[in-house]
Amino acid sequence: MVGSGFLLDFLDSKCTSYGIKSYVFLLGVILVYYTALSSHVQALKVPCKSKNFSSKYQHCGINPAGVHDLDCFGKHPTSYRCVWKPGNSASENTYTLIITQPSSPSRIRHCKVYTSQTNITEGILLYEKYNMTAEVFENSASTNCTKSVFRGSPMSLFRCGPPHNASFSRHSGKLDVSGNWPNEDIKDVQYYSVRYKALGSLSWSKPLMQSKNGKKCTVENLNSSLVYSMQIQCVTNDRCPQCPWSETYSVPAELTTQPVMVNMNDTDIAKTKGRRLISLTWKFPAKELHDSYHVIIGKASGEAPRQRMITTEPEIRLVLSYSEYHLNISAVNNASTSPAVSQTIPQREDTPSTGAEKLNVTVDNNTSFTIHWKEDLIKNYVCYSVEWMERGHKAGSMSFFEDEHNHRTLTSLPEPLEPYKRYSITLHTRPDKDTCNMKKVNNSESTYGRTHFYSIEGSPLSAPTNLSFDNVSLNSAELQWLSIPEDDIRGFLLGYIIYCTEYHHGGATTERNITMDPMSNSYELGDLKDGTAYGVKISGFTEAGVGVRSTPIFFTTKYQELSKLIGVITIFAVIGIVLIFGSPVIKRAKVILWPSIPNPGKSNAMQKIEEPCELELLGSINHLEMEEWDTNSLKIVEKQEVIPASPLPSMLPLLHASDDEEDSTEMTCNWIQGDTGDSTEEIPSDITGKIIPDINRIDPQSSPFTFPCDYTTIEMFQQGIPQSMPARTSFSQDTESDPEDTEWTVVKSELDYMSQFSTSPILDGKEISRIL
């Protein structure tokens, strides 16, 4: 093994045996060698024998927060490297690396100083037979200077270093590990090993997992929900005598759930034609496990590219044309990608001024067509894109450059056009002029217009369906049908033809045809004859011709006599219903709308007074003076039982209120008769003395029984009871004083005598309603 130390020793031993010329020649060779070698060193190298470095860096100390983990190694004898980890003090640090190799305790055989701003120094030359000491100083000019020290023998430093970075990919409980070694080691590392442990565990996995090649190693049977720690090292061989472990990598948990789409809004952009704003929002259950989201979007036609966008928020906004797009959203961390949620952004149908007004297509053959547009777009655009698609199939696309004409012929289509199939075609404009291919999907094009075309048209293969009649009358009928299925039209439908056949009684027929527009699905057949049979067929037609006729349907118009009979039956049915159900309904409505008002004359709570009663008579008698009475002329002419002895005076109104009309007639004042009666017995003086004073106390104006009208109510009657009670009480007391008398009589004087003082009319021959 020949190294740099061997070369230095060789020059030191042989320079004295050669002449000056040889020495100069060798010195030039060495200078070229070191010049070429220094081109790989990213540090300034100076000798250090003449300087007192120990005093210059004596204020620097070892600190865990400063520079640390200095390590020196090499794979080739002519080149060693030293690497370290920077401290935590500042983002921009300067480093000084000093390499010394003493030949004896008192003599420094080799000393070099390297300054750098990175954490690695390469291209270090060493004597193989002398031990080396390496010291790295961080920010040596400041008071916060820190250092790290490494010692070793150059012969023991030959090794293949760990990978300078590694990548991890978790899926289905597996972990794929990929290590990336420096270029000088990549050819010598044939295999590498991996050890791992769950986060927080103390022991590493056993046995080690070894790769099948130098690029990839797979670890299986892992828990998808756990975080693991990983280390990598190469497998030793003749070229890699030593393989140190790499730094520890943290591998996050596997993402096993997909995002959930929450909402998608498709809105117009103000003052912008042919573009729309798509707003997407979603959510991810495991928020703490992911770092970001990857959104991949592409056109449904498959036109490149498929754009990937990264966002940390569960939402995104896109400015797209009216084409159809496919979009995938997945959560991502540095070890796994979640299953993607797919979303289709449908083609918008309400494109601005679609149809032949702006676009027109001429088909040359099944692999070529020419698209024409009306407006002079070449003033603003030179790049265009065309998409054509048969319904239910994947769209084809082609972009082109056009700066002279308002038309373009597209040839060599990816797939030939099929006859009798309906295609939709869309023209987009693109603002980029350097290339007409899309650089990105988002905010890249605008939709100009859309129309439809057929490569070859044919007549319809089927007829309208569900043909039926409704509202058949004497001379008309309404015809209804459903449109022809689109796959069977095979062209642009221009309308319908109705074939109406009239069947005469002698067997002859008459047919007439009616043409309808393609948007109709009903028609009223008029000018028909009553009681006549008709048959109807219908078919559609295109530019290529008339299609298949439908199966005929038949109907017969109504007879005129039958119509009259039906009208008469209907009238009688209505009259019968009114007679059966009308009266109760009318009565019920009358009760609800016009309630009846009770007749006071027929009320049980009323007592009719048809003639002036004895109160008026008593009022007339009240005007007489006591001395004018001739008691000797008064005779008892009639005796009538009026009130039983047992009832109380206060119950009399209730008893009289319950009597019927016959009772009241019997109790009228029928005692007014002639001067003489059957009895000639005189009235005792004690009786007249008791009756007359009571009569004198009655005031017809103040009496409660003087009524202003022909009827009264129980309420008015009851109001008069307390005022009349004294007279009744006086009378009852007199009655009770004579227990032998069980009834009392009413005596009247001669009518001629009483008429002289009474203001009331004579009541002869009339019934007087009696209240008491």
- Tell me: the pLDDT tens digits for 520-550? 999 999 888 888 899 999 999 999 999 999 9
Q: Which structure tokens are listed for 472? A: 């058949």
What per-residue confidence (pLDDT) applies to 665? 40
Distance CA 554, CA 469 (A): 9
End-to-end CA distance of the chain: 160
| Average confidence (pLDDT) over 8-12 | 41
Distance CA 744, CA 392 (A): 119
Of 650, 658, 668, residue with least CA distance to 724 = 650
| Average confidence (pLDDT) over 287-300 | 91
Distance CA 84, CA 98 (A): 13
Indicate the fold that domain 165-251 takes in CATH: Immunoglobulin-like (2.60.40)
Under the banding of pLDDT at 50, 70 and 90, the label for residue 596 is low
Indicate the fold that domain 50-156 takes in CATH: Immunoglobulin-like (2.60.40)
Do the domains 165-251 and 360-454 sit in the same CATH topology, yes or no? yes
Domain ranges of the chain: 50-156, 165-251, 260-345, 360-454, 465-561
What per-residue confidence (pLDDT) applies to 17? 39
What per-residue confidence (pLDDT) applies to 492? 94
Q: Tokens 């008769």 belong to which residue?
A: 673
- Tell me: the pLDDT tens digits for 629-666? 454 555 554 544 444 444 444 443 443 444 444 444 44
What per-residue confidence (pLDDT) applies to 26? 46
> Which of 113-117, 546-550, 678-682 is the least confident region?
678-682
What per-residue confidence (pLDDT) applies to 91? 66
- Tell me: the pLDDT tens digits for 704-720? 444 444 444 555 555 55
What is the CATH number assigned to the segment(s) 260-345? 2.60.40.10
The strand pairing partners of 251, in sequence order, are 228
Task: Using the predicted structure, report yes or no on whether residue 742 has a pLDDT greater than 60.
Answer: no
Work out the angle at residue 291's Cα, subtended by the Cα atoms of residues 289 and 293, and round it to the nearest 5 degrees.
110
What does each C-alpha distance from 707 to 608, 667, 703, 721, 759 come to in angstroms? 11, 19, 9, 14, 17
Give percent above pLDDT 70 in the chain: 68
Give me the count of residues in the chain.
Answer: 772
Look up the CATH superfamily of 360-454: Immunoglobulins (2.60.40.10)
| Average confidence (pLDDT) over 447-461 | 93
What per-residue confidence (pLDDT) applies to 716? 57
| Average confidence (pLDDT) over 509-516 | 92
Indicate the fold that domain 465-561 takes in CATH: Immunoglobulin-like (2.60.40)
| Average confidence (pLDDT) over 247-268 | 93
Residue 158: DSSP 8-state: B
Task: Using the predicted structure, report yes or no on whether residue 487 has a pLDDT greater than 50.
Answer: yes
The strand pairing partners of 299, in sequence order, are 325
